[in-house]
Chains A and B, each alone.
Chain A
Amino acid sequence: MSATAKTVLSKNVPIRANLILSRIPLVVPEQTKMEKQYHEYQNQLERRLMWTFPAYHYFKKGTLSEHKFLSVQNKPISKVPGVWYPKGIPDIQHGRERSKVQEVILPKSETGEGTNLTRPVEKNSIVTPADESGNTASLERRLRNTLYLLVNYKKTGWNFPKFEIKDGASLDIIAEDGLRNIGGENMNTWTISKKPAGVVKNKDGSCDFFIKSHILAGKFDIAKEAKNEIKEYAWLTKEEIQEKLNKDYFNETEYLLSK
């Protein structure tokens, strides 16, 4: 703290607790091209250096399951005397060419559907209906990004939820209670710390302290009592917040937000 700032602050300035309520990403961030290529390279190296799969341990000799398994494997080229091999003389141990990657293929069931092990994995779409319709009030949007709750105050416009301090309550409790007053009780949140993560000193002398919290379940719905105060709310990413907030205010709070 600089000496000049100390003189400006007095003990009777209005203090507000702001809540930065975030929904953490549900899906890991997209890999860059370099990351993809590097992981592919490492994967191939690892497979090349892997030990041979001991099929004799998993399939008893002479059984039907052993036959099914062996019949779908790709057979390596075997060594025949008097033949010239341009890619090196075959060196086969336990049915595997030692100088190559071993590909273990699991047999499919006769119906073609596959067992629990061999059926194809159904991947859910990362782009959700909320993304397609552009519904910013939904928590099920932009699954790769962290979303933050922004509310549109009728007086001051878009901002993080703000709460005036009450007597006897700490900043985090003021923020949590205030959130439930404007957004309903049916939310499960987890406050990271009692300590504020940042402060913005306004020109009128008031101080905005920021408390960070995560939403774990439930949804934010504007309560009846708060409807004359708040127009709408939105769950936005950092980039979208930049468009909504004024430039100076965003620059001061940017470090609190992650992608």
Chain B
Amino acid sequence: MQKRNYRGIKRNNSPVDIVLEYSVSQEYLTKMLSISVRSCSCQKNVVNLIKPLNQVRYKRTKSKNSSGITPQTQRIITQLSVLSARKKQPKMLKLSKEDLIKHQTIQTAWKTYQDILKQERQESLKLQYNKIDEAMNVLQEVSPKLYKQANVDESGKIFPMELRVPTDFPPRKIWYHEYKKQ
């Protein structure tokens, strides 16, 4: 006969099972046990003898410190550290007096240059506006009908999508010649 432990797995480890393997009847076994218990001075030893050996110790794979951090948590920590300035900021730039004056001169020169460009642009735009104004006045004089057609509200007119923004270098196909009227 076979005896099963509480998990339903066949027990082979304990001497009791070995005895059972030899198909010794239960009555005989209990008799034997009762004799041995009586004969033994300590009942505990017998209990230990019956209990299966099921605890095994393996080598430690995790250190005591990192045992609390899962890979997911570690990933979040890395991602946050990417955004943080800690340990990533360069040393402060300390310019000598001479370098500081040089830097300020460069910035002033650039600002002056930009002001000149801006002024040129403003003047050009002003001239163009005045010329439009003049043209419209002349048109009103010579042809009120054309003036009426030209002088309509065009607010909301937008640049077409096909108008290309200038780039540093030309595209592979420079111009779309094959356009056909739709």
A interface residues (Cβ-Cβ under 8 A, vs B): 1, 5-6, 9-11, 13, 15, 24-28, 34, 38, 41, 45, 48-52, 54, 56-57, 91, 93-94, 96, 98-99, 102, 123-126, 128, 139-140, 143, 165, 170-172, 185-188, 190, 193-199, 201, 207, 209-210, 214, 216-219, 255-256
Contacts and interface: CB of A to CB of B under 8 A. Distances in A.
Contacts of A5: 138
Contacts of A41: 106
Given A57-B82, A139-B175, A25 B166 contact: yes
Contacts of B132: 195-198
B174 interface: yes
Interface residues of B, number: 56
A77 to B, nearest CB: 15
Q: What 10 A-B pairs come out closest when comparing CB atoms? A: A218-B179, A170-B149, A217-B179, A199-B135, A216-B162, A51-B88, A185-B181, A217-B176, A196-B135, A52-B88
Contacts of B175: 139-140, 217, 219
B150 A57 contact: no
Nearest to A170: B149
A11 B139 contact: no
Interface string B137-149: 1110111001001
B58 to A, nearest CB: 23
Contacts of A15: 142-143, 146
B122 interface: no
A52 B91 CA distance: 11
B168 A51 contact: no
A34 B167 contact: no
B135 A26 contact: no
Contact of B152 (A54, A194, A199, A210): A194
A66 to B, nearest CB: 13
Nearest to A23: B175
B150 A219 contact: no
26 contacts: A11-B143, A27-B169, A28-B168, A49-B93, A51-B89, A56-B78, A57-B79, A91-B91, A93-B88, A98-B91, A102-B90, A123-B169, A124-B170, A143-B170, A165-B146, A171-B146, A186-B180, A186-B181, A187-B179, A195-B132, A198-B134, A199-B131, A199-B139, A209-B135, A217-B175, A217-B179
Interface of B: 78-79, 81-82, 85, 87-91, 93, 106, 109-110, 113, 124, 127-128, 131-132, 134-139, 141-143, 146, 149-152, 154, 157, 159-160, 162-164, 166-172, 174-181
A255 B177 contact: no
B61 to A, nearest CB: 16
A125 B174 CA distance: 11
Given A38-B110, A195-B136, A255-B124, A27 B166 contact: yes
A210 B169 CA distance: 32
Contact of B81 (A11, A25, A54, A256): A54
Contacts of B141: 1, 6, 9, 11
Contacts of B180: 186, 218
Given A54-B81, A194-B152, A28 B166 contact: yes
